[in-house]
Amino acid sequence: MNLQFTQLAQEEYKEIIVYLNEKFNIKKAELFERQFKAHLNQLLLFPESFPFLFDTKQRKFMVNAYITVVYDLNKENEIITILPFWFNQNNPDDLLRQLGQVL
């Protein structure tokens, strides 16, 4: 499987790291990075191990209690695309609208 990020996902990842570093400290940012990378490793080994996002074809995993990552799995082309990072306290309908714009 190949892993790719949408432009939006790349930008959001950077924003999360900067936010954690500025609002908390570098250890929080590093913890988030480790948690995220651990999930990516599982995703690459077992791409179907995470649940579907509602009634969509996309799947999701929680990095921590605050952030969920949505991804698309294209088994035919063996590509996993990281879609938006989602702050769990936000309205899920907004996420579905955002996905409609990304896909």
Distances 89 to 24, 41, 65, 95 between C-alpha atoms, Å: 19, 26, 10, 11
The per-residue pLDDT for range 54-65, each reduced to its tens digit, is 888 999 999 999
Domain residue limits at 94: 2-102
Q: Please count the structural domains in the chain.
A: 1
- Compute CA 12 distance to the chain's CA centroid, rounded to the nearest angstrom: 9
pTM: 0.86
Domain at 35, CATH number: 3.30.2310.20
pLDDT higher than threshold 90 for residue 19? yes
DSSP 43-74: HHH-TTSSPB-TTSS-EEEESSSSEEEEEEEE
pLDDT of residue 14: 97
In whole angstroms, give the CA distance from residue 71 to residue 57. 9
